[in-house]
């Protein structure tokens, strides 16, 4: 899978993850969660150890990001 496909798969399962692992980081590979961690660094290190530096995997934070219509608005520039 490409990183974009991993991201879409992660986003499709985010609601389930929020109910079970809010605020954690998930190591995600081939459209499926592999393991959850409390720290980003631990999740990333596990991904590198399992799949190497050239392997495609995703580490995603299990949070709902706010939807904004404009980055300028969000940053308070406008």
Angstrom distance (rounded) from CA 32 to CA 14? 11
3-state secondary structure of 11: helix
Q: What is the pLDDT along the chain (78 residues), one digit of tens a residue?
A: 898 999 999 999 999 999 999 999 999 999 999 999 999 999 999 999 999 989 999 999 999 876 655 656 556 655
In angstroms, the Cα distances linking 53 to 2, 15, 64 are 15, 29, 28
Q: Where does the chain show beta strands of DSSP type E?
A: 25-29, 32-37, 58-61
Angstrom distance (rounded) from CA 42 to CA 26? 10
Sorted by where each begins, the domain ranges of the chain are 3-75
């Amino acid at each position: 899978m490409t990183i974009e496909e991993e991201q879409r798969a992660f986003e499709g399962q985010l609601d389930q993850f929020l109910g079970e692992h809010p605020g954690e980081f998930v190591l995600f590979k081939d459209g499926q969660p592999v393991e959850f961690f409390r720290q980003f660094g631990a999740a990333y290190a596990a991904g590198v150890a399992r799949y190497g530096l050239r392997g495609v995997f995703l580490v995603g934070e299990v949070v709902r990001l706010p939807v904004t219509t404009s980055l300028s608005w969000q940053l308070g520039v406008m």
